[in-house]
Amino acid sequence: MIRTEKLTYTYSQGTPFEKTAVNNVDLHIEEGAFVGIIGHTGSGKSTLIQHLNGLIKPTSGKVFIDGEDIHGKNVKLRDVRFKVGLVFQYPEYQIFEETVAKDIAYGPSNMGLSKEEVDTRVKEAASIVGLPDDLLERSPFELSGGQKRRVAIAGVMAMRPKVLILDEPTAGLDPKGREVILGQISEYHRRSHSTVLLVSHSMEDVALYAEKILVMNKGEVFCYDTPPNVFTKADEIAAIGLSVPQVTKVFGLLRQKGIDIRSDVYTVDFAVKTIREYLEQKGRVS
Amino acid sequence: MELIRIEDVTFRYSDISDEDTGADAPKPSEETPPVFEHLDLTIEKGSFTAILGHNGCGKSTLAKHMNAILLPSGGKVYAAGIDTSDESRLFEIRRHIGMVFQNPDNQIVASIVEEDVAFALENMGVEQSVMRKRVDEALDAVGMSEFKEHSPSQLSGGQKQRVAIAGVIAMRPDCIVLDEPTAMLDPAGRREVMKTIRRLNRESGVTIVLITHYMDEAAKADRVVVMDGGKVILDDEPKNVFSNVELLKEVGLDVPQSTQLMYAMKKSGFDTADTHIINENECADYLYELLR
């Protein structure tokens, strides 16, 4: 679905502030995957995702969406942007319409869809993000911060992009708010079968929802793999300044203490299962 | 010794006049329901208190009462012994109780780091030589001395927050109230800020009130206060607060993952699992005893 070939981007090229943010990245993301993207500030993850719908043009290298070079001769970037929807950080600051429904409809209306089709999509997207019908005719500016954010996300979902990219959709929310939004994104992924890329600082969140994790470091792909395979590398991940889930750390500590237990534990449920299995193996189950 | 006393405080946003209203708090035309009613809370000098609660539970509103950014509709707040409604002593209150907000970009005013840290001192008319000394000390306390001649725009979020903290420290406050200071930071920035806060508390005896959505940060405090619906529903040492796993989830909060693991084990039949465990070291110690 998404493929990059030797993708390189250098900011302020030819000035003393020259900085290569993305360096020679070859990436292949499968259609329908739910990918978590992790990396600390300056790792190049935001620069990378902005290439995927043509917001920035590579200094060198290529980006292919659906097999098509997005900077190729006959490709309209406008079509690429309908195909790849990007939700920025703090998207609630981008809301501008008079009503919630109009704001969500902005993207699909620009795609030239019929009014009926737009209405259907607005309702559908609003329901995925859990905005009740009676809110649709209200001004988005009367809503709470969490609700506004969901309006902004619904606006991109309503375009039914084949790829949905979200840059830290849970930043600044409380634990319940985080869980609700991530649950809704996961539900959208399940229902639409689209490819979802979720940029996050929280390993715990990514571990719970993503099927694949892309770890970026210093403009390069550190690893792109399934959660268990990524968390087996807990020590290396910590060494590049990222944190792993607390349970992963606990199992790392147990191994240090000489307990021969698996290291790819990253969720609470899996941790309980692993402890039980370990005790069963030793014939000491209660 | 108590530093801040919140006594029987009730607060409604409709009770404040237009000029007090922040940009994100529209002035309601009718009386709005109280954010909290008859609330009591005291903060001890030298303590490190974390305040938890879901968005909209009133914790930021409460924090703004601690240095007279907001004044109670009913009841009294005493900061360093001063009644916060005494307008003539406003500057004194703010000097005792400093505040750091969520967005680092909204708090930095100068174009050079050390000038930003000196901003409040200049306003207070502090003598040049004293100012130099205090600015240097403050930057040293947050580990930002080497950046003193940098432009804040070149700094990371975590570094900017440390500069904001230095600006408060330079006034030598008794207490710093931090309203979600790490919400917009990445994990490395969060660690830097938390380390700085803890060091100020432990080594310099600065009283800390930390409002946060991160349970692992709250677990590092001496005391955790949980608010819901404008009330304090839990107020205890972190391990005692986080052992209330079900209650915390009910009010939209969470517990550290180690506590969650203990809770899940208990539910699946491991009777000895202890939900007073709140960090990875204690958790690993417990599991080691179980598995070895």
**ipTM for this model:** 0.80
Give the span between the Cα atoms of B197 and B192, in whole angstroms: 9
Across the range B33-57, mean pLDDT stands at: 92
Of the listed ranges A193-202, B51-60, B92-101, B277-286, the least confidently predicted one is: B51-60
The answer to whether A47 and A86 are in contact (CB under 8 A) is no
Residues of chain A in contact with residue B291, where contact means CB-CB under 8 angstroms, are 254, 259, 261, 275, 278-279
- B213–A175: do the CB atoms touch at under 8 Å? yes
Helix axes B280-291, B257-267, angle to 10 degrees: 30
- B270–A278: do the CB atoms touch at under 8 Å? no
Model confidence at B31, pLDDT cuts 50, 70, 90, reads: confident
Q: What is the DSSP string of A71-82?
A: TSTT--HHHHHH
Instruction: Note the Cα A153 to chain centre separation in Å.
Output: 12
Give the span between the Cα atoms of A49 and A37, in whole angstroms: 10
Number of helices (H), then strands (E), belonging to chain A: the values are 11, 10
Give the span between the Cα atoms of B203 and B131, in whole angstroms: 22
Residue A28: its H or E element:
strand A19-29
Superfamily classification of domain A1-75+162-227? P-loop containing nucleotide triphosphate hydrolases (3.40.50.300)
Across the range B183-209, mean pLDDT stands at: 90
3 state DSSP class of A35: strand
Pick from A165-174, A239-248, B42-51, B163-172 the range whose average pLDDT is largest. Answer: B42-51
CB-based contact, A254 to chain B, within 8 Å: yes
First to last CA, chain A: 48
Compute the 3-state secondary structure of chain A and give helix, strand, coil in percent, each to the nearest 5: 45, 20, 35
Residue of B nearest to A41 (CA): B186
Measured torsion, CA atoms of residues B276, B278, B281, B287, in degrees rounded to the nearest 10: 50
Where chain A has pLDDT below 50, the residues are none
Q: How far is A165 from chain B (nearest CA, A)?
A: 19
Instruction: Select from A243, A254, A269 the Cβ nearest to the Cβ of B284.
Output: A254
Across the range B258-275, mean pLDDT stands at: 95
Q: Which residues pair with B98 in a beta bridge?
A: B176
Q: How far is A241 from chain B (nearest CA, A)?
A: 7
State the pLDDT at residue A285.
Answer: 66
Edge-to-edge strands, sheet with B223-228: B97-100, B175-179, B207-211, B48-52, B223-228, B231-236
Residues of chain A in contact with residue B292, where contact means CB-CB under 8 angstroms, are 257-259
Task: Write the pLDDT tens digit of every residue in A230-246.
Answer: 988 888 988 887 888 89
State the pLDDT at residue A286.
Answer: 55
CA distance readout (Å), B77 to A284, B83, B209 = 58, 6, 15
Across the range B205-231, mean pLDDT stands at: 94
**Strand A195-199 relative to strand A34-38, pairing:** parallel
Give the span between the Cα atoms of B41 and B96, in whole angstroms: 18
State the pLDDT at residue B58.
Answer: 87
Residue B21 has pLDDT above 60, yes or no: no
- B186–A40: do the CB atoms touch at under 8 Å? yes
3 state DSSP class of A169: coil
Give the span between the Cα atoms of B251 and B246, in whole angstroms: 9
State the pLDDT at residue B26.
Answer: 54
Query: Testing the interface with B: which of A268, A274, A278, A282 to mutate, by most B Cβ within 10 A?
Result: A268
Tokens of A14: 């030819």
Give the span between the Cα atoms of A63 and A75, in whole angstroms: 12
Tokens of B216: 């692992």
Task: Write the pLDDT tens digit of every residue in A153-192.
Answer: 999 999 999 999 999 999 888 888 889 999 999 999 999 9
State the pLDDT at residue B25.
Answer: 53
Domains and their CATH numbers in chain B? 2-255 (3.40.50.300), 256-292 (no CATH)
**Which residue from B191, B188, B181 is spatially nearest to A217, judged by alpha carbons?**
B188
CA distance readout (Å), B186 to A258, B100, B199 = 33, 17, 20
Number of Cβ within a 10 Å radius of residue B29? 7
Model confidence at B184, pLDDT cuts 50, 70, 90, reads: confident
The residue extents of the domains of chain A are 1-75+162-227, 98-160, 245-286
Burial class (CB in 10 A: 0-12, 13-18, 19+), B49: buried
State the pLDDT at residue A183.
Answer: 94
Q: What is the DSSP string of A119-160?
A: HHHHHHHHHHTT--GGGTTS-GGGS-HHHHHHHHHHHHHTT-
- B55–A144: do the CB atoms touch at under 8 Å? yes
Q: Which residues pair with B178 in a beta bridge?
A: B100, B210
The pTM of the full predicted model, rounded to 2 decimals, is: 0.84
Of the listed ranges A30-34, A38-42, B143-147, B282-286, the least confidently predicted one is: A38-42
Q: What is the DSSP string of chain B?
A: -EEEEEEEEEE-GGGS-GGG--TTS---SSPPPPSEEEEEEEEETT-EEEEE--TTSSHHHHHHHTTTSS--SEEEEEETTEETT-GGGHHHHHHHEEEE-S-GGGT--SSSHHHHHHHHHHHHT--HHHHHHHHHHHHHHTT-GGGTTS-GGGS-HHHHHHHHHHHHHTT--SEEEEESTTTTS-HHHHHHHHHHHHHHHHHH--EEEEE-S-HHHHTTSSEEEEEETTEEEEEE-HHHHHT-HHHHHHTT----HHHHHHHHHHHTT-TT--TT--SHHHHHHHHHHHH-
CB-based contact, A171 to chain B, within 8 Å: yes
Give the span between the Cα atoms of B14 and B26, in whole angstroms: 9
Residue B259 has pLDDT above 70, yes or no: yes
State the pLDDT at residue B185.
Answer: 82
Across the range B115-144, mean pLDDT stands at: 92
Tokens of A274: 């692993």
Task: Write the pLDDT tens digit of every residue in B55-84.
Answer: 888 898 999 999 999 999 999 999 999 999
CA distance readout (Å), A122 to A93, A102, A156, B207 = 20, 9, 10, 50
Residues of chain B in contact with residue A177, where contact means CB-CB under 8 angstroms, are 54-55, 252
The answer to whether A257 and B284 are in contact (CB under 8 A) is yes
**Strand B48-52 relative to strand B223-228, pairing:** parallel
Using the 8-state DSSP alphabet, how is residue A268 labeled?
Answer: H
A window 27-56, beta carbon within 8 A of B: 40-42
Instruction: Select from A201, A254, A276 the Cβ nearest to the Cβ of B288.
Output: A254
Give the span between the Cα atoms of A10 and A57, in whole angstroms: 10
Give the span between the Cα atoms of B2 and B49, in whole angstroms: 13
Residues of chain B in contact with residue A238, where contact means CB-CB under 8 angstroms, are none
Instruction: Select from B157, B256, B257 the Cβ nearest to the Cβ of A41.
Output: B157
Burial class (CB in 10 A: 0-12, 13-18, 19+), B225: buried
The answer to whether B121 and B170 are in contact (CB under 8 A) is yes
Residue B13 has pLDDT above 60, yes or no: yes
- B284–A253: do the CB atoms touch at under 8 Å? yes
State the pLDDT at residue B20.
Answer: 52
Residue of A nearest to B256 (CA): A246
Tokens of A87: 């939700």
Model confidence at B19, pLDDT cuts 50, 70, 90, reads: low
